[in-house]
Amino acid sequence: MNIKIIAVGKIKEQYIKDALKEYEKRLAPFCSFSISEIPAEQILDESLADKYKDSEAEKILQLIKKDSYVITLEIKGKMLSSEEFAVKLKEISYMGVNDITFIIGGANGLSPSVSDIASFKLSFSKMTFTHQMIRLILTEQIYRAFKINSHEPYHR
């Protein structure tokens, strides 16, 4: 299985970069994993938030494979437990899907043009997290899902 995260913005904190590298290494036996970063638009005028989202969307859409199962991270998405998330990934693989693309939007959220193509909309919480933190949390949860599905003890 190929799993890709497309995320708006760069990781600035070294500790998050280090943690992401560790989880990428841990994911290697389970899947092909990659992260693609889209530069965040510099917000100069809050009234132009939709324009910024649309600009980011153009770049995001270019990176999505045609046959990929797209999961967007959205505040109004469905919340799942770790076990339910593991089941979701297993169900996707049973559908014969080989590529899953997760999308993390920028500070202004996702453009409807990206949200509308999602096969599934996921939310981690009603709380707000930095985009850097949510990238790490998502990566850890993907790893946890593979461990759960492999009946290995990591998730306990």
Q: How confident is the model at residue 52 (pLDDT cuts 50, 70, 90)?
A: confident
Cβ–Cβ < 8 Å for 99, 4: yes
> Could you say which architecture CATH assigns to the domain 2-155?
3-Layer(aba) Sandwich (3.40)
Could you tell me which of 103, 114, 112, 113 has the C-alpha nearest to residue 138? 103
Residue 155 has pLDDT above 70, yes or no: no
Tokens 């998730």 sit on residue = 155
Q: Are the CB atoms for 71 and 41 separated by under 8 Å?
A: no
Share of the chain above pLDDT 90, in %: 78
Please state whether beta strands 32-38 and 99-104 pair in parallel, antiparallel, or not at all (unpaired): unpaired
Q: Which amino acid is at 42?
A: Q
Please check whether residue 4 is in contact with residue 35, taking contact to mean a CB–CB distance below 8 angstroms.
yes
So where are the chain's domains?
2-155
